[in-house]
Structure 1
Amino acid sequence: MGVIAWILVGLIAGAIAKALTPGKDPGGVIITMLIGIVGGLLGGWLGKLIFGVESINGFFHLSTWIAAVIGSVVVLFLYRKLSGRTAH
């Protein structure tokens, strides 16, 4: 799976990550989409690093989506922590 596919997966994974981790975010829809894209790419990269495969399995496989959602949740968590510290 290429970078463009991971970006598309990341857009949807960002929305799923936001739904899984409710709370107020210091950003709007654009920030959520960017977090999803970064999280999707992070999930794909970690999948390659941890499992040693070229891509997870493909666009429509569950493992691809799980990796993207986990990556998006991690990035969303980090974003909330970093933006919370700078707001004080």
Structure 2
Amino acid sequence: MLGLGIIGWIIIGGIAGWIASKIMKTDAQQGIILNVVVGVVGGLLGGLLLGWLGVDVDSGGWWFSFFTCLAGAVILLFLVKLVTGNRSRT
């Protein structure tokens, strides 16, 4: 994912963060900036986890990077909801 550059990280991270927030039903609590942050941090988390499993994440390309960001963002939002006690129920 390092080969994408900062613009690629922002675009893929934003889209992945937004979709992850829809999957985890946290979209109403997040704005565009938080979606980008969640997607980029999710990409780092997903890349780290896949690297530990022996997957070559550096040569994956755009689609692989997107799905890595998406999976990492979903995991990140799940962990945040777990720690915060899922305050989205009103």
TM-score, normalized by length of structure 1?
0.69
Matched residue, 2:44: 41
Give the letter for the 2:48 counterpart: W
Long gaps (5+) in structure 1: none
Query: How do residues 1-88 of structure 1 correspond to structure 2 at under 5 angstroms?
Result: 1-2=1-2, 4=6, 5-23=8-26, 27-29=29-31, 30-59=33-62, 61=63, 63-84=64-85
CA RMSD of aligned residues (A): 2.7
Give yes or no for contact 2:41–2:73 (8 Å, CA) kept in 1. yes
Give yes or no for contact 1:48–1:54 (8 Å, CA) kept in 2. yes
Long gaps (5+) in structure 2: none
Aligned residues with identical type, % of pairs: 33
CA distance in 2 between partners of 1:56 and 1:84 (Å): 37
Number of residue pairs matched by the alignment? 83
CA distance in 1 between partners of 2:51 and 2:57 (Å): 6
